[in-house]
Every structure is written in C-alpha cells, then in structure tokens.
Amino acid sequence: MTDLLQPRAIGQDLVRRDGEAKVRGTATYAYETPVEHPAFAHPVTATIARGRVTAMDTAAAEALDGVLAVLTPFNAERLASTEDAEYAVLQGQDVGFRGQLIGVVVAETSELAREVADGIAVRYDEQPHDSELSADRPDLYAPAQVNAGHETDTAEGDVAAAMASAEVTLERTYSTAMYHNNPLEPHATTGLWDPAGDGFLTLWDSTQGVHPDRAAVCQVFGLQQEQVRVVCPYVGGGFGSKGLPHANVMLTALAARAVPGRPVKLALTRQQMFFLAGYRTPTIQRMQLAADSRGRLSAIAIDVVEQTSRIKEFAEQTGVPTRMMYASPNRRTTHRLAALDVPIPSWMRAPGECPGMFGPEVAMDELAEELGIDPVELRVRNEPEVDPETGKPWSSRNLVRCLREGAERFGWSGRRAHRDGDWLVGTGVASSVYPTMRQATSTANVRFEDGRYVAEIGAADLGTGAWTILPQITADALGVDVADVDVRIGDTRYPTASVAGGSSGTNTWGSALVVAAREFRTKFGADPRDGDEASGDVDQAAQDDTHSPYAFGAQFVEARVNADTGEIRVPRLLGVFGVGRVINPRTARSQLIGGMTMGLSMALHETSAWDPRIGQVANHDLAEYHITVNADVGEIEAHWIDEHDPYVNAMGSKGIGEIGIVGTAAAVVNAVHAATGVRVRHLPVTLDKLLPALD
Amino acid sequence: MKPFAYARPGDVAEAVRDVAAEPNAVFLGGGTNLVDHLRLGVARPDLVVDVRTLTSREVTDLPGGGLRLGAASTNSQVAADPRVRERYPVLAQALLAGATGQLRNMATTAGNPLQRTRCVYFQDVTTPCNKREPGSGCSAVGGYTRYHAVLGTPAALPDPNAPETCIATHPSDMAVALAALDAQVQVLGPAGERTVPFPELHRLPGDDPSRDTVLEHGELITAIDLPALPAGTRSAYRKVRDRASYAFALVSVAAVVTPDGELRLALGGVAHKPWRATRAEEVLRGQQLTEDAVRAAVAAELAAAQPQPGIDSGNGFKIPLVARTVLATVRGLLPEEQS
C-alpha cells in the first residue's frame, strides 16, 4: 500500500499551463529555437535497399558558395561507439535499408542544403534485397526476448489438447498493417558544438526524454554527461517515435561538430520520417480459442509473426496481452521475427497491446457469435480472479464495470443491426488493457524560491499535459495551492527523468515529486526559507510487488456502411476506462479520446503500403498515408469509473497515454461485421473489402 | 529546391510571351500543386511566371444563361457563387469535395484542372517514372495501384519498361464536373486565342506520358465557360474516397440529367484524364433513363476496363465501384417514379 495523497489540486480540470503559449505561437519547438547565425543541414539518403556505397561525388557540392560541409561515410568523424547500428551514422559503406542515412550537407540556407544533398551522385554496389513479410518464411526466428523485456514465448497447460476436446473452437489469422507514428512536428534538432576546452554539445531536440537522449548521444560520441545538454520544453507529438533518439539526432550532432561554433538545424522531411523515425511492424496473428458452450475459455493462444530490420532488432511484444487478459487454463503465446532489409521498427503508441489486442478481441467477437452469446457477457464470463500470468492478485481490475457502464451509456442492450436509408448500421465492442508501469530512475528537486515552490525534473510534455499535472501532484504533496507551484521540465539541467513512454511518466515523475515534496516538508516544515531545497528519487517511493497493476477499458462503436459504395463511417465511439485516480480530467480526456481516434485511424485509414520491389513505403507522405481527419470522427466520448487503487503510487493513478488506442480497431471491425456480415481480419477496413458482400 | 527566376509580367500577353520564349518555363496560378512539385524536385523550371493577378477573378454571366469563370477565380469563390450553386450543382459539389478549405482558397479555376496526374512514384524523384523522366519506365505497374487507372490503359499489366507506360489518374474533382458539363476552355497562346472543349483538354498518355493536356507550351487558360443547361436539368457529384475528407477520389461520378432524360456522365479517379463516359451515353441515347438501362450502359462503358494488379490487391475493386457509384448518383437525379 502506498501513502495516498489527499487530492486537492489532483482531480481539478485545470487548463494547460502551456496552452496559451502554444495557441499564440510563442512556444518554441526544437527547429525554431532562436540561435545566432544558424546553418542548415539536410540528409543524403540511400536509394537502394541493400548493398554498399562505393563512391559519392561531393566535389562540386563542396565547392558551391554557401555550402559549409558535406559529410559522407568516406570523411565523417569516427564515432566512439558503433554498437548500435541505427546510431552508427556515416560509419560504414553498407546500406541496410532504403532511405538510410549516407551523408549530410550543411549550408547557409535550408533550400541550398536540400538541393545540394539531393544532387549528390552516389554509386552503389547494389545487392538483391528481401523485404516482404509472410508467416511462412523459412527464416523466421525467435528473438531472445521481446520489447520491454518480456519473454518471447510462454505456455501453460496444453492448448492442443484443449482445442481437440472443446465444445467450440475458433482458429483464425488476423493481421495489422505497418503504421508510421507521424507526429505533426517532424523529428527535428538544433545542435551547437562549442569546441572550447573539452567541447560542449547543446541539442535542442524534439524528444520524449532529454536524459535518455543525452545518454545515447554521450555513448555514441564518447562524451561525458557534463559535456552535453539536451533541451526540449515542447514536443509536437511523438507517439513513441521520439522515445528513443533516432539516427537524425546523431547526424545533427555530427553536422554540428563539423562546423564548430555554428548552430545547425536539421529537420527530417515528412517523406524521410517513413524511413528514419521508427514505425510499428506489421503483425500476423494466428489465434486459437477453445470454449465450452457457455463460453468459458479452456484455451487461448496467439502465435505472432512480425518483422524487424536486419541491422537492428526490435521485437514488438504483440502476444503479451493474451497472457493475462482472460481466464483460461491452457495458454500459449509465441513471437517469431523476420529480419528484413527494411527500416528499423520501434515504439508506437502502446507497442504490444495495440496490435496485440486486435486479433484476440476480434476472435472473442467471433466466438460470441458462434456461441450466440452477447460479446459483453462472453468477456464477463472469462474474467480472471487473479493475473493468469503471474498468479498475483490485481491491484485493481474493473474491466467488468467498464463493460457494464459502457454498455449502459452506449445503449448496447437496445442494439440491432439495421438499415437506415442507404446505410447499414451495426455496433461492436472490445476490451482495452494497458500495464501500469513505473520506470526505475527519476529524481526531482523541490525548492522554495521567492515565495514560491519550484519543482525541477527533466520530464517531457508531448502534449500530454505534464506541464499542468506535475504541479497538481506537487501541490498536493506539499499541501499548498497549485497556483503557488512552478514545475520546470524538459532540460538535462534538471534532475534525471525517465522517458515519456509506456504511459509511465506521471507514475514515475509524480512518485519522485511526491518523495521530494515530502522530504522537503520533513526537512523544512511548513514555513521554509528562501533557497531551502530537497530532492527525491522514484526508488524511494513505495513500490508494491505483490499485485498486478493494469488499467482496463471497454470501447463501443457504431459503424455505418454505405450500401452502394461500401464507404465506412463511425458516428459514435464511446470508451469507459478504469485508470485509477484521474489527475486532470481535461488532459486525461484529451489523452483518451486522442488514443481512441488513433485507434479509429488504425481501423479505417492508416496503412503504410509497403512496396517490396523497391523496399519502401509507397504512400510516404500525408496526402497518401491517411490519418483520420475531423470529418471522420462523430460523437466521441471517454468516461472513467471512480477507481481507487492503493497499490500503484501515491497519486493512485494509472497511465492513460496509451490505453485509448487499445481495442478500438477490434471494436470497429466487430461493428462493421454486425452491419454487413463481413469480418475483416486484415486491417485496415476499407470499402474494397466490403464491396463483394454488398448486394 | 532548384533555383529559378520569377517573373510577374504586366498582362497576359506578356506572360504568354515570357513562357513561350523560355522552354523550361511554367505559369504559376494558386500554386497548390506546382509549389509542392518544386519542393519535391518533381518540377524543376528555370522560370516561373506568376499570372495570379493577370487573369480575371470574376464569374460573369454569358448570354443565354451560361457562366464564364475567370481563370483566377478561386475554387472557394466558384463553389460559393449562387449562380453556380443553382445552375451547376455538380460543379459546386465537386469543388467542395476537393482538398481543404485552405487549398480551395488558393486554387484557381484554370489551375485546378491543370494539376498534374497523381501517382506516388511520380511524386518520388528516386523512383523511375515516364512522366517525370521520359523513358525511365513506370514504377506504378505492379506496385501501389490503389489510386491508379482502370480505363484508357492498354492492358491489365502494361510493360513497366516501355517508355509510353503510365497508369496514373487525374486527381481533379472539378475537372470531372467540367467534363460532364461540356465546358469550354478559353486559351491564349503564342499563336492567338482558341477554344478547347473541356472533354478534349486532357489526354491519355498515348506515346508521351509527360503531357497531361493538349495545351502547347506557352498556352494559358484565360477562362472556362459553362454552357447554359435546359431549365429543369439536375446534376450531382459523388466522390468515393478512403476517408471522409481531404483524400483523392478512389472513384467519382459527375452526372447531369436533362429534363428530356439525357444523361451526361463523367468519371474521376479511373483514368489519366477526367473520363467522359461517351460509350454509356451512346447506349442510353433515346432510351428511357431507368436503373436497368443505366446499369447496362455503365457495363458497356466498363467493358474495356482493366484492373491493375498490385500491392494490397491492386485496384480491380474500382470497376464494380464505378458501376455502383454511377447507379447511386443517377438514382438520386431521377424523378421518384423511375427510381
């Protein structure tokens, strides 16, 4: 049990502290950082998917007026560490995927840098590439572990035997597409190398974590932490793609070191983001369910096939939610990877849970249909008493309450598939889940300064609300009015903070802030003097290891399909979540409906159309890579139940940044099935997949 | 971006002379397509001649009930014009189905139909494209063909290495409506003025995919005329796309039904040009406009359609989708008792 805060500021729907600056356009983002006399860098990228760069003709470029530096694998400085192939930019001539960085031009203007970079003639020794994922590739392999340190395979009981003896079984293959995070703000950095003394590198970078960013740069360049400062007050979206630095950050640092004393700005183009900023692997999910006639599962299994890059492994933990979601004595999960000549996949909002709750939640709907059981009821009947994976009790699990309340609010019991004019109407449901995680390191300082309380921590606000909610937590931990608290984040000059990832930011940073604030009160009492300061580490916060902490939710969808054209519309999307105590309803709702919208986007619109002949995403811009727009979203509601969880942290809060995207796509598929009778098992749901079934 | 010279001549005649004199010169209208292409390196002109302030921004009445759309009138303006909305709903609807409010505020009457055909490989200078680099081949054949042509192509799988191969589609919604309306294009060129019937403005790739229209170098559209339609004519535009807004058409239909039951039909998203469905119109000529008759006529139009295979199952779905969309659109224009 943690010593829960008495909520005063917590729970208030305070407006965003950074809102006004953003609306007025005065909030500075990485690329727009005001610096003296900036230079501009533009990458040179490979136009083959596999092979070697044998020559680059840079002489003409270097001689041009206004060109400051042209770096290639043939002349770039040697990095201290090339262990991570993604970060080893310009360290070798090998090309591992199309679009890989093979050079950079630094010039007086961005237009010149780009024109020169695009004009550099490159000779290659091209080799045949292999970039097509399929479930029957002979070279699939089991990674040592999958993302977030999960086991690759798990098994309990005997799924095959259960499948052989069950009253009802279901065996289906589902797939999710390749997705690119596509935050509005591209991956961008302003870098300045000051050569004085041992040298000092400043990076104004768009990142989900200034400290992890700095750690990676220090390792790659062999610099001490004291030699690098990373600054990032605002982020124009990340969705995981700025959680780990990508190669563009290392390229900017290289470019900056090539023109000492000149700040260098580098922003990836939207097209380059489809090669260099990570993406979600496509997944192929073979599901098996066995049940008795009343719908009690006797087996659940998921066998996942997905891809990684040949030069760096990333194994999405797609099978993980199946391990704990429903009660079943026999369970199996496996992950197999194909290492291809493709860009490097990485985190995208709810890695693992997002794709990994697609197959299972559509399969549950298919099973419900087969059994003639209400899909809400089927889920309720498979509610596990304890975490099936660990045997631990839940810190709190309110999936059933979310399903029941969602059904009530949505009008689920009155649902009926019907035709309304030209539109076929159906409804669907799916469950959501996301683990409640806390990172191991984060430190916060609390200081009394000019009559105000100032908290410092190198946290990041990606638009999530950290600027606003960290003061709320600090205020309650200090027992003061939130208006008297300032929080400073987004700079490595502040104490170390973990990445804004895994929906762990508030849990981690908030816990450190609470420790620091309590320490402050213990040391200095209620009447501190100017300059009094205390610090706290997250590892000093109470940590419960005896319970299994997860957030749960239920999503309900109304889908309409045009009987003539197959066009799909989703006029209603409703989610109910059990996410512990909500710290700020305004920013929380924004996170949840943002996640749900992204889930809708995954269901209907997003797909990176992979062209295996060339080895790239064919639709690599925002005109062709469709993201749900305003006109696609009708009524969208996010609700939460009043959930008390004394085990997770002092705030009683669970992460909310990711759960909204989990399950949405399955609910959409299930609703479209109700409307049309067509079960689309391969995302996205597009009209061409429905047309053949329309009369 | 490749550096280029920028000129803002005093009148249209001078603009035409400027462009005609420089082989690698282009006109700039609203810039919503050209500026993208400049940035991408798809267009690499030496001279850009800005005509935005030279041609008329007015929409004026023509004798007999038609309208003249000045070349520089904006898409937003034309879509909002009460005369257009009343007499040519198909055009107002098509304009509003295109792009976004911001783009429609910039895009012009002359510029919209002159946007280039759309293809992801044309937009990507690192991939071969006969339109961008004549003779380099066509990357689209067998690739990402979801938005590509099913009509006016030589075969289901053209030779990607042949210099004439191009399966791109023209993306303009406005142009589909103008094709159905038998609009007339007023052109000023080095050799003087001429009028081009809108359905003849755009061309199939033929042996030169680099050319999207029949306009010669230096020819400038000064206005587009909408002929008068018989009183009681009904018209509609239906665009089917992958999301509710801000997406190019998978398939679109412009339909005009006159009081005596004549159907004029144009299709978008299916060919290198806005596709006037002349075959379907011929089949229907003199026939009662019933659903069955329309179905048969569209089938005749689509008899030569060629699905393009490709990643994500290609674009064969467009063929039934055209038929269904035409039927749904025309059904909405028929008097109650016929539908």
CATH number at residue B10: 3.30.43
Judging contacts by C-beta atoms under 8 Å, the chain A residues touching residue B37 are none
A483: which residues sit within 8 A by CB, 6+ positions away?
Answer: none
B283: which residues sit within 8 A by CB, 6+ positions away?
Answer: B293, B296, B297, B300, B301
User: In CATH, which of 3.10.20.30, 3.40.50.720, 3.30.365.10, 1.20.120.450 is domain A33-127+182-276?
Assistant: 3.30.365.10
Question: Is B41 in the same domain as B69?
Answer: no
| pLDDT in the model for residue B328 | 98
Q: What is chain B's Cα-based Rg?
A: 20
Q: How far apart are CA B158 and CA A148, in angstroms?
A: 48
CATH of the domain at B171: 3.30.465.10
The helix or strand, by DSSP H or E, that contains position B301, with its residue range, turns out to be helix B291-301
pLDDT greater than 90 at residue B339:
no
Question: Is B44 in the same domain as B77?
Answer: no
Other C-beta atoms lying within 10 Å of the C-beta of residue A535: 18
A658 counts as catalytic = yes
Question: Is B161 in the same domain as B14?
Answer: no
Q: Look at residue B339 and tell me if it is in a domain.
A: no
Q: What is the mean pLDDT of residues B135-150?
A: 98
Q: What is the mean pLDDT of residues B174-193?
A: 98
Residue A61 distance to chain B (closest CA, Å): 14
The CATH code belonging to domain A439-540 is 3.30.365.10
Question: Is B33 in the same domain as B168?
Answer: no
Q: Among residues of chain A, what percentage have pLDDT more than 90?
A: 99
Question: Is B39 in the same domain as B69?
Answer: no
How would residue B156 be classed by pLDDT, with cut points 50, 70 and 90?
confident
Domain coordinates in residue numbering, chain A: 33-127+182-276, 147-179+280-437+546-693, 439-540
Question: Is B21 in the same domain as B92?
Answer: no
How would residue B336 be classed by pLDDT, with cut points 50, 70 and 90?
low
Q: Look at residue B84 and tell me if it is in a domain.
A: yes
Would you say A175 and A282 are in contact if contact means Cβ atoms under 8 Å apart? Answer: yes
| pLDDT tens-place string over residues B69-94 | 999 999 999 999 999 999 999 999 99
> CB distance A612–B311 less than 8 Å?
yes
Q: How far apart are CA A376 and CA A234, in angstroms?
A: 41
Residue A613 distance to chain B (closest CA, Å): 8
CATH level 3 topology of A147-179+280-437+546-693: Aldehyde Oxidoreductase; domain 4 (3.30.365)
Closest residue on chain B to A607 (Cα): B312
| pLDDT in the model for residue A548 | 98
Residues of chain B contacting A, Cβ within 8 Å: 1-3, 41, 120-121, 123-127, 139, 142-144, 146-147, 240-248, 250, 311-313, 317, 320-321, 324-325, 327-328
Question: Is B98 in the same domain as B241?
Answer: yes
Q: What is the mean pLDDT of residues A302-325?
A: 98
Q: Look at residue B169 and tell me if it is in a domain.
A: yes
Closest residue on chain A to B332 (Cα): A422
| pLDDT tens-place string over residues A182-214 | 999 999 999 999 999 999 999 999 999 999 999
| pLDDT in the model for residue A2 | 72
Question: Among partner residues B120, B126, B139, which is closest to A619 by beta-carbon distance?
Answer: B120
Residue A601 distance to chain B (closest CA, Å): 10
Q: What is the mean pLDDT of residues A102-130?
A: 97
| pLDDT in the model for residue B128 | 98
CA-to-CA separations, A481 to A472, A584, B73, B96, B322, in angstroms, rounded: 9, 15, 57, 51, 63
| pLDDT in the model for residue A1 | 62
To test the contact with chain A by mutation, choose from B312, B313, B331, B339 the residue with the greatest count of A C-beta atoms within 10 A, namely: B312
How would residue B312 be classed by pLDDT, with cut points 50, 70 and 90?
confident
pLDDT greater than 70 at residue A289:
yes
Question: Is B297 in the same domain as B310?
Answer: yes
Which of B246, B304, B301, B251 has its CA nearest to residue B278?
B301
How would residue A334 be classed by pLDDT, with cut points 50, 70 and 90?
very high
Class of residue A324 by CB neighbours under 10 A (exposed 0-12, middle 13-18, buried 19+): buried
Q: What is the mean pLDDT of residues A606-623?
A: 98
Mean pLDDT of chain A: 98
Q: Look at residue B261 and tell me if it is in a domain.
A: yes
| pLDDT in the model for residue B338 | 54
Q: Tokens at residue A352, please? A: 């693992």
Domain count within chain B: 2
Q: Look at residue B208 and tell me if it is in a domain.
A: yes
Residue A615 phi, psi (nearest 5): 85, 45
| pLDDT in the model for residue B9 | 98
| pLDDT in the model for residue B2 | 87
Whether the bond between B307 and the residue before it is cis, its omega within 30 degrees of 0, is no
ipTM value = 0.97
Question: Is B162 in the same domain as B46?
Answer: no
To test the contact with chain B by mutation, choose from A134, A564, A629 the residue with the greatest count of B C-beta atoms within 10 A, namely: A564
> CB distance B143–A115 less than 8 Å?
no
| pLDDT tens-place string over residues B2-48 | 899 999 999 999 999 999 999 999 999 999 999 999 999 999 999 99
| pLDDT tens-place string over residues A47-57 | 999 999 999 99
Does residue A109 belong to the interface with chain B, where contact is any CB pair within 8 Å?
Answer: no
Residue A276 distance to chain B (closest CA, Å): 16
| pLDDT in the model for residue A470 | 98
Instruction: Quote the domain boundaries for residue B294.
Output: 55-334
